[in-house]
């Protein structure tokens, strides 16, 4: 198992040129004029959705539910492929190189923006590779611990991480992912220092916390809702400005020691750049219909997700806002991927 220390001690600050290069992302990747108009008869064969993390995490659970509903709607198989590794870039590269016909999709979220900031080189063009389809759901990150740690709440977690630096092992669902960045925000605000343990996804990280091999994880709420309800994991706080309807007794970090703190994760779907606009529009409409159906919406909310939806343009605006915020945090923390 690979262990990394706090990025403050490990990494040198990233040159600001990388942040400036991201300015092209919102226009070049997401500009609507990039799409042609030809999508009649879609889909006429199975569709594949690549999930760039290991099976068992929240992204995997979300996509398998949506895939099942889309398959019913389309009368075609929708196959979920888990291609984990390299902070999601292996799966992303698979989709970037696929034909631009809508039959290979990528499940991703803020990870695309983070990877464009963090990696010196990517196996695809981070500025031109993907066309947004839909921002499907948003969900909090939640800090959970194994009950045997003796950490009972967020304040005691911070106290231990400050008094005994590196004594708490924190499983990361991905090195350089939103959980890593969010915890560095906490570290910048409080001085808390933990020992980061990177995994290939939320599923493996959760299993090691459950087994007691790792003390804690900061992860999407949907990945651990059932374990918290069963008392197998202790929830300390969520990162959003609001409590989750799935776990309403879990406080926000703003409520228990970090006033104004808010980080919201999200999951969406992308096609290869150049996918015809009519195909993108149809997939957008059909996923919107699936996640808005009362039965599916209720299931997603019970899992810890909040249905989002919207147009490909809405997705582009989300990227633009996050690009500025996360680039600043990453530069301050000195986070890099090697």
Q: Strand pairing partners for 247?
A: none
Alpha carbons 164 and 157: distance in angstroms, whole number: 10
pLDDT on residue 8: 36
| Domain coordinates in residue numbering, the chain | 11-139+264-333, 144-238
pLDDT on residue 311: 96
Place of tokens 């990162």: 239
Residue 74 main-chain phi, psi, to 5 deg: -90, -20
Which residues, at least 6 apart from 330, have a Cβ–Cβ distance to it below 8 Å? 14, 114, 117, 118, 181, 184
pLDDT on residue 254: 95
**Burial profile 276-314: b = 16 or more Cβ within 10 angstroms, e = fewer:** bbbbbbbbbebbbebbeeeebbeebbebbbbbbbbbbee
| Eight-class DSSP state of 81 | E
* 3-class DSSP string for 145-196: ECHHHCCCCHHHHHHHHHHCCCCCEEEECCCCCHHHHHHHHHHHHHCCCCEE
Class of domain 11-139+264-333: alpha beta
Alpha carbons 149 and 286: distance in angstroms, whole number: 45
pLDDT on residue 23: 45
pLDDT on residue 338: 61
Q: Which of 12, 6, 17, 89 is nearest to 50 (CA)?
A: 89
* 3-class DSSP string for 285-320: HHHHHHHHCHHHHHHHHHHCCEECCCCHHHHHHHHH
Domain 144-238 carries which CATH code? Answer: 3.40.190.10
Other C-beta atoms lying within 10 Å of the C-beta of residue 156:
14
Copy the structure tokens of residue 271. 């096609």
Residues of the chain with pLDDT under 70: 1-40, 338
- C-alpha distances in angstroms, 329 versus 25, 179, 182? 19, 13, 9
Alpha carbons 109 and 59: distance in angstroms, whole number: 9
Common-topology check for domains 11-139+264-333 and 144-238: yes
CA 61 to mean position of chain CA atoms: 13
- The verdict on whether omega for the bond into residue 206 sits within 30 degrees of 0, i.e. cis, is no
């Amino acid at each position: 198992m690979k262990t990394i220390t706090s990025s403050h001690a490990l990494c040198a600050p990233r040159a600001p040129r990388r942040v400036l290069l991201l300015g092209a992302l919102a226009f070049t990747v997401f500009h609507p004029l990039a799409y042609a108009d030809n999508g009649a008869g879609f889909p006429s064969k199975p569709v594949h959705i690549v999930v760039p993390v290991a099976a068992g995490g929240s992204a995997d659970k979300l996509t398998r539910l949506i895939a099942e509903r889309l398959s019913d709607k389309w009368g075609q198989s929708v196959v979920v492929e888990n291609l984990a590794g390299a902070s999601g870039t292996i799966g992303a590269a698979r989709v970037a190189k696929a034909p631009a016909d809508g039959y290979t999709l990528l499940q991703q979220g803020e990870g695309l923006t983070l990877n464009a900031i963090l990696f010196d080189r990517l196996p695809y063009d981070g500025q031109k590779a993907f066309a947004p389809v839909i921002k499907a759901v948003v969900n909090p990150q939640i800090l959970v611990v194994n009950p045997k740690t003796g950490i009972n709440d967020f304040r005691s977690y911070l106290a231990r991480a400050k008094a005994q630096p590196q004594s708490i092992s924190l499983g990361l669902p991905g090195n350089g992912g939103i959980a890593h960045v969010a915890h560095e925000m906490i570290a910048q605000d409080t001085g808390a220092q933990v020992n980061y343990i990177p995994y290939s996804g939320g599923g493996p990280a959760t299993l090691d916390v459950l087994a007691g091999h790792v003390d804690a994880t900061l992860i999407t709420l949907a990945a651990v809702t059932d374990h918290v309800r069963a008392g197998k994991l202790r929830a300390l706080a969520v990162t959003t400005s609001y409590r989750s309807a799935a776990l309403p007794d879990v406080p926000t970090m703003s409520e228990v020691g970090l006033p104004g703190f808010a980080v919201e994760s999200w999951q969406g779907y992308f096609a290869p750049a150049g996918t015809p606009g009519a195909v993108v529009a149809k997939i957008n409409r059909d996923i919107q219909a699936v996640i808005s159906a009362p039965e599916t919406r209720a299931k997603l909310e019970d899992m810890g997700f909040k249905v989002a939806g919207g147009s490909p343009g809405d997705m582009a605006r989300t990227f633009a806002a996050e690009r500025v915020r996360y680039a600043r945090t990453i530069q301050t923390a000195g986070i890099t991927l090697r």
